[in-house]
Chains A and B, each alone.
Chain A
């Protein structure tokens, strides 16, 4: 190789690498981390990206240089030089990639181990996935169950997954971590939130017709606020008032993930708006309370126009006890007509 060739090659390589670097740095393609694990994952991504950009630049330089410099003239029917190989070069481009992937493997294994290492005083949360809703329960708080994942900042959290039907997958982009929920198994996932805010919980494994709508929220709050929230929620569960306990059933079964109900502060858009229940019952030509009961127990019996069939879980008839169902129906009938 002549010196001029090397200079042009390096020039094109730097240019190609520069463009790739600019794309990687300037485009906002990674969410801002909200957990220590996500920061470590981001570090791994940037570590690998740097290697990738260098390789890409080398290949791009070789292709572009060849295309420009080795183009055959139309009247040139000669062959190129009969070069069959070069042992030194072949060893080089076997060994260097081998070293690079070894480095990637070592960094990745370390990050993986550290992401899985739990801190002290771990908060346990049981996550239940079903078509097409998430619910989160806190075994340390007498099984308090909610439709949003509330987490204190800075504390190690161990999520334990249960699936009631098919495989789902739990992902909060800002947390980086992801885990499939497999029926019959209880995999776990470790997260240490380190930024306050509200983030989407997304199902990433195709789980049926409502897959795109299987969303919830993860809310990271300060440890003090979290302690207060736990207390107020536990109080709500044990209150004897029927309406309040209907509200608890509504909350614990994550109804608000899909439905809007002003009284519960729920604003889900997947299923029908429960503030309009009275109007729906009229359209279905049924008395309000029996309409609500039927819609919970066998959701496909009447489908409000504009909403898909088979999305609402058909399991509530079995999973709710008779008093729970009664109080939920009363609660919905009462608060739905108010709105």
Chain B
């Protein structure tokens, strides 16, 4: 331990009291956050004084510059994200890479800047699960308010804040980064690589996340209340008619988006350049394909949401008029830019799940993935088509009406590659030897729920139907079937599937199955009736509704509390199994992909020798088939860091 921490020191101070202050870590993060925050504050005040602007202390600008930009940068610098780069940039001798930032020796190492992709993967997952529970709690508060018509617990400002923050947390702090976390752990292992291509960038991408999440959550305590214009942040409501909280959303998205982009670049470079010898693109597991295609989407699309949020924030804080119609701005411009990201984002939240499905279904059916190449190609087809459908979110927006039919055709066409994937998974199961462990249950849950969500998506793709259904509870039902029944089920499948690999312990199978059934039933009881509410005439994002919807809403609220409770089973299972579960063998599921060929948890540098890939990752049922040849795995001992 001591040898490791000594390497983290920034300056040649002793290890006495003062040294602690300057060592990368939480203490330095605390004072550097304050320092940077104060600097941001001073910067604003000095410039305003210099320019003679009144009022001198403009809380909106000060909050933006000091709290939402400077302070997080100070935190990142303090915790140690920039140390290596800072030395390099300032011309100091850089420390030779001694791999001290690799591996976790105690729980404390998970709270430090760590460059090991496996540690970062676990950091990602625990952080995102925290925000999953936070977002879920907000949803339960919403359902409590909606149980009866009229206002019971909250005023409308709070209510609108609740659903806006719920959606933002679930999308930007749970689904997208949870997939990034799983992939962070698994992709380098699957490729036969020792780590990601840019480990320090990887660490930085993780540490941006808690900043974004805390920013979005903390908007509740800002004067005027949380951002309350929905996660879509439509202008001009969000830019000129909202309290300060809206800026917390604008900036929170920037931090989360920056994290996404860096991770995606990292994945792309890792997948393109760090495949083990023999690992051609056509021998890559579909999970790697899925993350490759997702990363393409992220890199191209995410800068667009960053742009849309900057413009919206400029309109709010600096009184520019990008989207302000009273000064010549164009509100629909925001929607076009926003959805040019946020529709591909739907696939960013879906494709990694498709990858997990292919792994889980093939392993638990003991059969090769049916139509492997078409599966990979349909991922690419979704990427390409995904960029040409954004305006289907705007069929009733008043955009150029000629755009509607072409966008409808591309939207409907996306059903084709998606259908190919669903049918291929079914064919993978056909005549297999099915085993229903928890990951497989969630995979089957995903298949059935995602088909319902996909079909309601086909309905919404048709312009006349969409005109009726837009902005109603039918949409709420649809997105939850796709993102909960789809994405969240695959995340659960992935977490259970790789839990033995990540922790070296088995989860409790009975609790896992209980969790699945409670979630599956609770999910359907909660979200299926919402289809009916929507078509009958209940709009979404309302705190109050017509009395005729009261019974159904009460039913949904009760079901949602059951669904919420099911998550506690998951949490209990994860915590107790991680602490005291049965030790996991290296390959409990008898999988063929590379991560199962090393110990659980894997050695600090994954492979003692780089494996030689010789065949398909899905050679189930073929006598003597091998995916890769590698030296016998050693166990994960911290001492190995020095040996290798």
Contacts and interface: CB of A to CB of B under 8 A. Distances in A.
Interface residues of B, number: 90
A45 to B, nearest CB: 5
Contacts of B625: 82
A70 to B, nearest CB: 5
Interface stretch (B23-31, B181-189, B482-490, B542-550): B542-550
Nearest to B474: A29
Contacts of A211: 156, 160, 541-542
A90 interface: yes
Contact of B367 (A48, A60, A81, A181): A81
B146 to A, nearest CB: 11
Contacts of A200: 537, 546
A85 B398 contact: no
Nearest to B394: A180
A182 B431 contact: no
Interface of A: 27-31, 38, 40-41, 44-45, 48-49, 51-52, 55-56, 59-60, 62-63, 66-67, 70-72, 76, 78-86, 89-90, 93-94, 97-98, 101-102, 104-105, 107-109, 111-112, 115-116, 131, 161, 165-167, 169, 171, 173, 176-185, 187, 200, 202-213, 308, 311
Contacts of B456: 52
Contacts of B467: 41, 115, 176-178
Given A101-B412, A165-B241, A211-B541, A52 B455 contact: yes
Counting from the closest, the 8 A-B pairs by CB-CB distance are A184-B325, A173-B537, A212-B542, A187-B398, A82-B621, A72-B433, A79-B621, A204-B471
Contacts of B643: none
B277 interface: no
B278 interface: no
Contacts of B451: 55-56, 59
- Most interface-central of A28, A101, A179 (chain B CB within 10 A): A101
Contacts of B426: 59, 62-63, 66
B326 A183 contact: yes
Contacts of A212: 156, 539, 542-545
Nearest to A109: B405
B396 interface: yes
9 contacts: A28-B536, A82-B622, A83-B427, A90-B374, A98-B416, A109-B408, A169-B470, A183-B236, A206-B541
A104 B468 contact: no
A109 B459 CA distance: 13
A59 to B, nearest CB: 5
B370 interface: yes
Contacts of B422: 59
A52 B459 contact: yes
Contacts of A180: 396-398
A44 B545 CA distance: 27
A171 B473 CA distance: 14
A171 B539 contact: yes
Contacts of B408: 105, 108-109
Contact of A209 (B160, B424, B471, B621): B160
B374 A85 contact: yes
B458 interface: yes
B332 A82 contact: no
B619 to A, nearest CB: 7
Given A82-B625, A86-B370, 13 more contacts: A45-B465, A59-B426, A63-B444, A72-B366, A72-B434, A76-B433, A83-B370, A89-B423, A105-B408, A108-B463, A173-B536, A176-B467, A184-B325
Interface string B262-281: 00000000000000000000
Contact of B470 (A107, A182, A204): A204
Interface string B113-157: 000000000000000000000000000000000000000000111
Interface string B421-437: 01110110111111110
Given A45-B459, A93-B419, A79 B433 contact: yes
Contact of A167 (B331, B404, B409, B472): B331
Nearest to A209: B156
B123 to A, nearest CB: 35
B614 interface: no
Contacts of B413: 98, 101
A39 to B, nearest CB: 11
Interface of B: 155-157, 160, 228-230, 234, 236-237, 241, 325-326, 329-332, 365-368, 370-374, 396-398, 401, 404-405, 408-409, 412-413, 415-416, 419-420, 422-424, 426-427, 429-436, 444, 447-448, 451-452, 455-456, 458-459, 461-465, 467-468, 470-472, 531-532, 535-537, 539-546, 619-622, 625
B367 A83 contact: yes
Nearest to B542: A212
Given A56-B451, A79-B620, A208-B241, A101 B415 contact: yes
B368 A82 contact: yes
Contacts of B412: 101-102, 104-105
Contacts of B228: 209
B447 A59 contact: yes
B397 to A, nearest CB: 5
Contact of A82 (B330, B367, B419, B465): B367
A6 to B, nearest CB: 13
Contacts of B430: 62, 66, 70, 83
A29 to B, nearest CB: 4
A206 B452 CA distance: 27
Contacts of A84: 368, 370-372
B331 A308 contact: no
B543 A169 contact: no
Contact of B234 (A62, A66, A206): A206
A206 B237 contact: yes
Contacts of A169: 396, 470-471
B476 to A, nearest CB: 12
B543 A178 contact: no
A227 to B, nearest CB: 30
Contacts of B367: 79-83
Contacts of A185: 325, 331-332, 398
